[in-house]
Amino acid sequence: MKLEIEGEVIGKNPSSEAIAKALSSLDGKNKSFAILERDRLTYIQASGSIKDGFSLEYQDGSLKEHYCCSDDLSLKNATEAFQSYAKGENNWQKALKWKPMKMRAKGGVHLTKPQFDFSLSALFIYALIGLCLLAVFFGLRSGANKQVWLSVFFTSAALFVATGTTQILRSGRMRGTFFTTTRSESPIQFWVQVVFGYLISLAILAVVILALTKHSG
């Protein structure tokens, strides 16, 4: 069992004191959610802050078994639920009112946590952008207006990739449909993906600049 804050693993098999400290550190801004996870499909999650209260949810081994608490909880109640969960008890579940969560997407886990998500579909987006770049070089050389619009499109694509990569860097986690890479657990893989994202952005911008230069010349 491991305890995470904003996707960063801060401890495994945490004590009651560690859980209390973790939840009390949530401010709703820099730190807005904590997860106590048994495995990728079984966990309890709290989000919010001491000031505004906490929303609680849990998943029990399946995406179909995903529930949220009907009421906002105080820090004390949220902490007690986490501590009880860590001990393998179920009184936390009986003491609160729960309702099924409506999944916003298929596949993946932790669908409701407030962080930026990247799925394997991003790889297909990169491939599509690459094919479009080839089209810029070999198939779309006529018409000034077309050149301008293509440049705008690819510049926007570069900014999109750069923004997504920055969000991944800030959250410390890149999550896909079938995998999750965190900075704390897989630092090399995480940084390779971050560097790859920025290189893709720079490559797109370089091609746009080169195409515009050739066109103007």
**How confident is the model over 176-192, as pLDDT tens digits?**
544 556 665 667 877 88
Q: Do 199 and 150 have their domain in common?
A: yes
For 38, the domain range is 2-100
Please check the confidence at residue 58 and state whether its pLDDT lies above 90: yes
Counting the structural domains of the chain, the total is 2
Instruction: Please give the model's pTM, rounded to 2 decimal places.
Output: 0.50
**Structure tokens, 9:** 């693993």
Q: Do 87 and 157 have their domain in common?
A: no
**Structure tokens, 125:** 């987006």
Is residue 106 one of the residues assigned to a domain? Answer: no
pLDDT in tens, 122-173: 555 566 566 565 555 555 555 545 666 667 677 777 777 777 777 777 666 6
pLDDT, residue 113, reads 41
Q: Do 91 and 127 have their domain in common?
A: no
pLDDT in tens, 77-98: 999 999 999 999 888 888 888 9
Is residue 109 one of the residues assigned to a domain? Answer: no
Please check the confidence at residue 174 and state whether its pLDDT lies above 90: no
- Give the residue from 48, 68, 100 where a domain finishes: 100
pLDDT in tens, 13-51: 999 999 999 999 998 877 888 999 988 889 999 998 888
pLDDT band at 202 (very low <50, low <70, confident <90, very high): confident
Q: Do 63 and 6 have their domain in common?
A: yes
Cα-Cα-Cα-Cα dihedral of 152, 157, 160, 165, to 10°? -140
Is residue 82 one of the residues assigned to a domain? Answer: yes
pLDDT, residue 104, reads 45
Is residue 113 one of the residues assigned to a domain? Answer: no
Q: Do 160 and 203 have their domain in common?
A: yes
Is residue 108 one of the residues assigned to a domain? Answer: no
Q: Do 65 and 135 have their domain in common?
A: no
Please check the confidence at residue 57 and state whether its pLDDT lies above 60: yes
Average pLDDT over all residues of the chain: 75
Please check the confidence at residue 109 and state whether its pLDDT lies above 50: no
Q: Do 127 and 192 have their domain in common?
A: yes
Q: Do 126 and 71 have their domain in common?
A: no
- Residues 6 or more apart whose CB falls under 8 angstroms from that of 142 comprise none
Q: Do 128 and 50 have their domain in common?
A: no
Is residue 209 one of the residues assigned to a domain? Answer: yes
